[in-house]
Amino acid sequence: MEQLVLENHSTVSEFFLSGLTSNHAVELALFTFFVVIYVLIILGNIFIIFMIAHDQQLHSPMYFLSNLSVIDVCHSSVVMPKMLADFLVDKKSISFAECMAQMFFLHLFACTEIFLLTIMAYDRYIAICNPMRYGTIMSQKMCLQLTAAMCMGGLIHSVALTALTLNLPYCGPSAIDNFFCDVPLVIKLACVNTQVFEMLIVSNSGLISVVCFLVLVTSYVVILVSLRNHLSEGQHKALSTCAAHLTVVTLFLGHCIFIYLRPAKSLAADKVVSVFFTAITPLMNPIIYTFRNEDMQNALRKLFR
């Protein structure tokens, strides 16, 4: 009889989020702060997309950066509107369907961004270490193929994790100790032993993050080694840009490694790390990846003139 109940899936119709704090005065202050952050994310990334679409000279070198801006807008929009709304209410609830949808799109855009950051590191490696063949290697056809591959990889990853979570029965409790739904936090609430599922999450999300991070670091190390003995002014700028890229990558992938490469349990640092993942990194990407870029700076000067 117990097995039959478990097979009937969820009896939980909604989950309750703990939010960032229970202090209402602090919540109002955080609401104002994160509204500004969210508006800057939207405006900054839309401005970048507009600039790249407006200037034909940016179409080729900034192709992946425009993709990054689109993903950042989508990624932050999955979590931040709900987080902002919850700052203004006492009961921070989310329906079961909305929770599953939030998890699906969160992992879709996050995993796609991880693959995109890895592709961008490879793109920088070719541009700096093999500039004469850059146009041949990173042709329009290759860029389209890499874009299709990263989107498909993100979709497969997200479908797999969401299906895994949906197939578990939930019969209470229904409290999630964070400000959004995520797989490790939700499967903790299942009515069955989830140890096997936790290992699947580690082998999926955790290993993807670690492997991509190692590929990224390796590509930047190779760039540094190849240029250590002959640095022109342009190469100094390239290395400065690579260092900034690596900073953002460390912040973004650091969250994924911290959250998904350990058993599903709540830690005090989870919320702080999650804020960087959902709000700070999408804000930093336009600044570090784009406004430090010489091609974008030239396009801005031309636009304002």
Domain span including residue 207: 2-304
**Residue 221 buriedness (CB in 10 A; 0-12 / 13-18 / 19+):** exposed
Predicted pLDDT of residue 82: 93
Predicted pLDDT of residue 154: 92
CA 131 to centroid of chain Cα atoms: 29
**Per-residue burial over 26-43, b = 16 or more CB atoms within 10 Å of its CB, e = otherwise:** ebeebbeebeebbeebbe
pLDDT tens digits, one per residue of 31-62: 999 999 999 999 988 888 887 777 666 656 56
Predicted pLDDT of residue 59: 58
**pLDDT range class, residue 78, cuts 50, 70, 90:** very high
| Structural domains in the chain (count) | 1
Residue found under tokens 């034909």 = 56
Q: How many alpha carbons lie under 13 Å from residue 63 in its C-beta half-sphere?
A: 18
Could you give phi then psi for residue 19, rounded to 5 degrees?
75, -175
CATH number for the domain harbouring residue 211: 1.20.1070.10
Q: How far apart are CA 277 and CA 291, in angstroms?
A: 21
**Under a CB-based contact definition with an 8 Å cutoff, are residues 109 and 154 in contact?**
yes
Predicted pLDDT of residue 232: 57
What is the mean pLDDT of the segment spanning 82-90?
91
Predicted pLDDT of residue 81: 94
Q: How much is the mean pLDDT over the chain?
A: 81
The pair of structure tokens assigned to 155 is 């979709």
How do 175-176 and 14-17 pair as beta strands? parallel
pLDDT tens digits, one per residue of 151-203: 999 999 999 889 888 888 888 778 888 889 988 888 888 888 878 877 877 77
Higher pLDDT: 256 or 101? It is 101
